[in-house]
Amino acid sequence: METRIVEMNEFVVKGFSVKGSFADIPPLWDRLNEEIAKKGIIAEESFGVTLSMQGGKVDYIAGIKSALAEDFSDAEEVVISAGKFVVAKVQGGVPAIPQTFDALIQRGDLQFRKGYGMERYIHPVGSEGYGIEVWMPIK
Residue 5 CB burial class (10 angstroms; 0-12, 13-18, ≥19): exposed
Say whether 32 sits in a helix, a strand or coil: helix
The reported pLDDT for the residue numbered 64 is 98
Provide the β-strand partners of residue 29. Answer: none
The reported pLDDT for the residue numbered 11 is 97
Tell me the pLDDT tens digit for each residue of 40-69: 999 999 999 999 988 889 999 999 999 999
The reported pLDDT for the residue numbered 55 is 87
The reported pLDDT for the residue numbered 71 is 87
Provide the β-strand partners of residue 7. Answer: 84
User: Are residues 116 and 53 in contact, defined by beta-carbon separation less than 8 angstroms?
Assistant: no
Whole-model pTM?
0.92
CA distance 125 to 11: 21
Residues in the chain predicted with pLDDT less than 70, given as ranges, are: none
The reported pLDDT for the residue numbered 89 is 97
Which domains, ranges and CATH numbers included, belong to the chain? 3-138 (3.20.80.10)
CA distance 91 to 34: 26
How many C-beta atoms surround the C-beta of residue 36 within 10 A?
19
